[in-house]
């Protein structure tokens, strides 16, 4: 087995899939990339058993074969080369030789037959969505997922497709984000929960891509295919909670405010908040919003007053400032609304502007009990 490939092209492709490899794999073979050569087509695969990513690129070769190459030493070596062709030659004794303009390098490779096979997705349903839509949906929701392994369904993002609407929902029980795209074509009905790790990998790969992504899925696995990339992962097993039931429908108290003004004020005031609760108090009277925070243990206190447009009764309500800041950071609108009803009921954040046609986003944040 012998092939010639550009060092830059190879580095770009191993970087695309390298994020899937864990630093402490239970199976030593998973510390490797699987290289499969079929003529001038080289397919490189990385896996952690739960998620598998493959990328295919063109090389100069007429050979066939497959080997498992240590991922770290290969990636570290490729990073040091200036742009140039590299020749890879399989030698006897499970040795791989890399020939560059600077010299020769040899490393031991593993038996490719030990590498776990990518699961087939039998009886799969399929749908297609734009890479930019999928990337935006992941960015807008993934930050709201939970980390509690005892509630695995909340550690992922809920994908829900129906006719021409695709919804993406994430919640950790303290906050919830629902991102909706309307007007999409030929969507098959689907409901499944995607884990966080493959979504982060997809987010990094899809950035700036305008191609279509084909999504195939069954009850246990899903596969995303686009350009020369294929990502396959195991779905989170379980039924997602009825998220619509927790979104309050009657919210007569509506605050409209400049997003950046609100965000920068919160960031300053939050510095003085209690580090356990991160509590920020919002006091709404007339067209004035007062944001305050206090840490009694250290005698720290801050208060700011902002102009706003407020329709509703006078209200004081507390929120976790970290959650509010994260939500506002993940919006691009110039103005937002914060809809509220009572101090003990959830607030709803929505962008006023900056959305594409057919795009909707709703962010829910639960209140925290105010100190007297």
Note whether residue 30 is domain-resident: yes
The contacts of residue 298 (CB under 8 Å, 6+ apart) are none
Q: Which class for 183: exposed (0-12), middle (13-18), buried (19 or more C-beta within 10 A)? A: exposed
Residue that terminates a domain, selected from 193, 216, 245: 245
Q: Are residues 262 and 359 in the same domain?
A: yes
Q: Are residues 42 and 71 in the same domain?
A: yes
Q: Are residues 69 and 154 in the same domain?
A: no
Q: What is the mean pLDDT of residues 285-308?
A: 95
For the chain, what is the largest distance between any 2 Cα atoms, rounded to a whole number of angstroms?
81
The contacts of residue 69 (CB under 8 Å, 6+ apart) are 32, 33, 35, 96, 107, 109, 110
Are 13 and 46 contacting, i.e. CB atoms less than 8 angstroms apart? no
Note whether residue 334 is domain-resident: yes
Distinct helix (H) and strand (E) counts, the chain: 6, 26
pLDDT band at 208; cut points 50, 70, 90: confident
Q: Are residues 182 and 269 in the same domain?
A: no
The contacts of residue 84 (CB under 8 Å, 6+ apart) are 6, 7, 100, 101
Look up the domain containing 9 and give its range: 2-114
Q: Are residues 260 and 186 in the same domain?
A: no
Q: Are residues 239 and 276 in the same domain?
A: no
pLDDT band at 56; cut points 50, 70, 90: very high
Tell me which H or E stretch contains 69.
Answer: strand 64-70
Q: Are residues 287 and 199 in the same domain?
A: no
Tell me, what's the pLDDT at 262?
98
pTM value is 0.93
Tell me, what's the pLDDT at 188?
83
pLDDT band at 372; cut points 50, 70, 90: low
Residue 236 has what DSSP assignment?
B
Tell me, what's the pLDDT at 269?
98
312: three-class secondary structure by DSSP = coil
Q: Are residues 105 and 6 in the same domain?
A: yes
Give the E-state strand segments of 274-366 in sequence order.
279-285, 288-295, 300-307, 309-311, 315-320, 335-340, 347-351, 359-365
Interior angle at CA 171, CA 169 and CA 172, nearest 5 = 165
The C-alpha atoms of residue 125 and residue 217 are separated, in whole angstroms, by 5
Give the chain's mean pLDDT. Answer: 95
Note whether residue 371 is domain-resident: no
Tell me, what's the pLDDT at 370?
84
Residue 209 in this model has a pLDDT that exceeds 90: no
Note whether residue 318 is domain-resident: yes
Q: Which class for 361: exposed (0-12), middle (13-18), buried (19 or more C-beta within 10 A)? A: buried
Which pair of structure tokens corresponds to residue 349?
């954040």
Inter-CA distances, 172 with 88, 148, 155, 216, Å = 47, 8, 7, 27
The contacts of residue 93 (CB under 8 Å, 6+ apart) are none
Residue 300 in this model has a pLDDT that exceeds 80: yes
Q: Are residues 53 and 87 in the same domain?
A: yes
The C-alpha atoms of residue 316 and residue 328 are separated, in whole angstroms, by 20
Q: How many domains does the chain have?
A: 3
- Domain CATH for 271: 3.10.150.10
Residue that terminates a domain, selected from 213, 245, 277: 245
Note whether residue 267 is domain-resident: yes
Q: Are residues 186 and 285 in the same domain?
A: no
Residue that terminates a domain, selected from 245, 273, 301: 245
Are 272 and 294 contacting, i.e. CB atoms less than 8 angstroms apart? yes
Tell me, what's the pLDDT at 163?
83
Residue 110 in this model has a pLDDT that exceeds 70: yes
pLDDT digits (tens, 9 = 90+) for 321-357: 999 999 999 999 999 999 999 999 999 999 999 888 8
The C-alpha atoms of residue 353 and residue 254 are separated, in whole angstroms, by 16
Q: Are residues 230 and 266 in the same domain?
A: no
Note whether residue 119 is domain-resident: no
pLDDT digits (tens, 9 = 90+) for 137-189: 999 999 999 999 899 999 999 999 988 899 999 999 999 999 999 988 878 88
Q: Which class for 2: exposed (0-12), middle (13-18), buried (19 or more C-beta within 10 A)? A: middle
The C-alpha atoms of residue 318 and residue 372 are separated, in whole angstroms, by 11
The contacts of residue 276 (CB under 8 Å, 6+ apart) are none
Note whether residue 372 is domain-resident: no
First to last CA, the chain: 74
Note whether residue 311 is domain-resident: yes
Q: Are residues 259 and 332 in the same domain?
A: yes
């Amino acid at each position: 087995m012998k092939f010639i490939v550009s060092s830059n092209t190879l580095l770009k492709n191993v970087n695309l899939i390298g994020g899937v490899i864990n630093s402490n794999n239970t199976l030593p073979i998973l510390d490797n990339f699987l290289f499969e050569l079929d003529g001038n087509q080289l397919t490189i695969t990385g896996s952690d058993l739960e998620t598998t990513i493959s990328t295919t690129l063109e090389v100069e070769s007429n050979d066939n074969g497959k080997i498992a190459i240590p991922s770290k030493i290969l990636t570290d070596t490729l990073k040091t080369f200036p742009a140039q062709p590299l020749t890879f030659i399989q030698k006897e004794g499970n040795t791989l030789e890399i020939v560059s303009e600077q010299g020769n390098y040899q490393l031991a490779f593993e038996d490719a037959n030990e590498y776990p096979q990518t699961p087939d997705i039998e009886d799969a349903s399929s749908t297609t969505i734009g890479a930019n839509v999928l990337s935006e949906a992941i960015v807008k929701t993934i930050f709201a997922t939970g980390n509690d392994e005892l509630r695995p369904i909340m550690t992922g993002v809920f994908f829900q497709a129906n006719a021409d609407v695709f919804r993406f929902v994430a919640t950790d029980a303290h906050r919830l984000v629902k991102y909706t795209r309307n007007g999409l074509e030929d969507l098959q009905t689907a409901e499944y929960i995607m884990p966080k790790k493959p979504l982060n990998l997809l987010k990094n790969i899809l950035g700036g891509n305008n191609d279509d992504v084909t999504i195939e899925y069954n009850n246990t696995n899903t596969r995303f295919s686009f350009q020369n990339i294929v990502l396959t992962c195991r779905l989170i097993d379980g039924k997602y909670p009825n998220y619509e039931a927790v979104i309050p429908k009657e919210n007569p108290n509506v605050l409209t405010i400049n997003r950046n003004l609100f965000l920068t004020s919160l960031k300053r005031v939050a510095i003085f908040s209690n580090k356990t609760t991160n509590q920020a108090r919002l006091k709404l009277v007339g067209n004035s919003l007062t944001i305050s925070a206090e840490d009694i243990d250290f005698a720290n206190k801050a208060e700011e007053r902002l102009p706003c447009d407020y329709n509703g009764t006078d209200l004081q309500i507390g929120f976790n400032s970290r959650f509010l800041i994260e939500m506002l950071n993940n919006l691009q609108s110039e103005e937002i609304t914060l809809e509220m009803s009572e101090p003990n009921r959830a607030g709803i954040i929505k962008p006023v502007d900056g959305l594409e046609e057919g795009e909707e986003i709703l962010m829910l944040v639960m209140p925290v009990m105010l100190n007297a």
